[in-house]
Amino acid sequence: MTDNPCQPLLDWCRAPAQARLHRFALLDSAPVEGAFRQRPLQGQRFSSLFEGRQEAVLPEIAPLLIDLDSAQDSSLQRLCEWLWSMGLEHPCLSWMASPLPLDALAAHLRLFHTVDLSEGQTMLLRWYDTRILPQWLGCLTPQQHAQFCAPLVSLSCLDRTARVQTFFQDHQAEHIAPLSEPALGRSLVQLDDRQLAQLMQSSQVDILINRLQSLIAPELARVARGRLAAFLQAHVDQLCAAGIDDAERQLQCLLPALYTSGAAWLHPAFASLLQAPPAGFEAFAAAIQALPDEIYAVDLPLWDKEELVGREDAAA
């Protein structure tokens, strides 16, 4: 742990940079409505990625590309502290370096505001949501990836688990002519069905979190966002590996996991169920109901255990 909670971002800003290299933060304002009015951004240079798009009428939720080089000394520290706190609370913060200045890089990133899908559909893509960003970069073809990342030297984010994820650094940015706007009504990138399916996987855990919040919202509120997301992602990965890939059956399994900090899954009866899960929901739900009550007594609920660990850490 460091004394300064924004140390990674602040250190990155203060580290020596290559000549003519600019550093930026990208803040998705959707979960931080009105971010552009917040005091840490006053006097700083930033550009909305909604500019020139239909969504320009929604500045409250616009993604903001922020020129970190425009902040100095104490104002830079305040800005980084604020950005980092937003990124820890919401999946909304990424940062990048580029030889392009603010306006030119913003113009480049706006070209990826939408994507074309099969059957003539177009979808607004919030790739700057850091739950989506890793899947976005992973689903692109090599040509599309090179197109998107061409002007970037480095790219990192605070991901859905509130951990730093660096996609690349010291990348040789290409000196390319600005990309042309696609024809009216068209997008620069077209995703096929396989790419779309890969991209949509990023929403799986979020769908489950929303469902769980409708059942046990007060309890989940006691678990840090990053810890909850990491816990659920690890368990969903296990469920998918066991062939339990639908939200309804996954929900039935995740509740015992949450109420025992994952220990219920180690009980022989639950382990046996995961090895040969019924395919139909009704049969699966009946199998869950038939599990012995003792599986719920093997450990504390995740929220109680988190608070206990927190108190022990504070006392250490």
**What are 156-200's pLDDT values in tens digits?**
999 988 889 999 988 877 666 677 777 777 899 999 999 998 888
Which segment, 175-179, 203-207, 214-218, is predicted with the most confidence on average?
214-218
Choice among 137-141, 229-233, 260-264 with the minimum mean pLDDT: 229-233
| CA dihedral for 243, 247, 248, 251, sign (positive or negative) | positive
Q: What per-residue confidence (pLDDT) applies to 2? A: 40
- Higher pLDDT: 277 or 20? It is 277
pLDDT bucket at 204, cuts 50 / 70 / 90: confident
- The mean predicted confidence, pLDDT, of the chain is 89
pLDDT bucket at 236, cuts 50 / 70 / 90: very high
Domain locations along the chain: 7-111+126-176, 203-315
Residue 316 reports pLDDT greater than 70: no
Residue 60 reports pLDDT greater than 50: yes
Residue 239 reports pLDDT greater than 90: yes
Residue 130 reports pLDDT greater than 80: yes
Length of the chain: 316
Residue 310 reports pLDDT greater than 70: no
Q: What per-residue confidence (pLDDT) applies to 1? A: 37
For residue 133, the surrounding DSSP H or E stretch is helix 133-139
Give Cα 124 distance to the centre of its chain.
Answer: 17
pLDDT digits (tens, 9 = 90+) for 74-95: 899 999 999 999 999 899 999 9
Q: What per-residue confidence (pLDDT) applies to 3? A: 43
What is the arithmetic mean of pLDDT over 5-16?
Answer: 83
Dihedral through CA 43, CA 47, CA 50, CA 56, nearest 10?
40
Strands 189-190, 114-116: parallel, antiparallel or unpaired by DSSP?
parallel
What is the arithmetic mean of pLDDT over 31-60?
Answer: 90
Sheet holding 122-124, edge to edge: 122-124, 114-116, 189-190
pLDDT digits (tens, 9 = 90+) for 97-106: 999 999 999 9
Residue 313 reports pLDDT greater than 70: no
Helices 247-259 and 281-289: angle between axes, nearest 10 degrees: 10
Q: What per-residue confidence (pLDDT) applies to 77? A: 92
Q: What per-residue confidence (pLDDT) applies to 176? A: 62
Strands 63-67, 46-48: parallel, antiparallel or unpaired by DSSP?
antiparallel
Assign 3-class secondary structure to the chain: CCCCCCHHHHHHHHCCCCCCCEEEEEEECCCCCCHHHCHHHCCCCEEECCCCCHHHHCHHHCEEEEEHHHCCHHHHHHHHHHHHHHHHHCCCEEEEEECCCHHHHHHHHHCCCEEECHHHCEEECCCCCCCCHHHHHHHCCHHHHHHHHCCCCEEEEECCCCCEEEEECCCCCCCCCCCCCCCCCCCCEECCHHHHHHHHHHHHHHHHHHHHHHHHHHHHCCCCHHHHHHHHHHHHHHHHHCCCCCHHHHHHHHHHHHHCCCHHHHCHHHHHHHHCCCCCHHHHHHHHHCCCHHHHHCCCCHHHHHHHHHHHHHHC
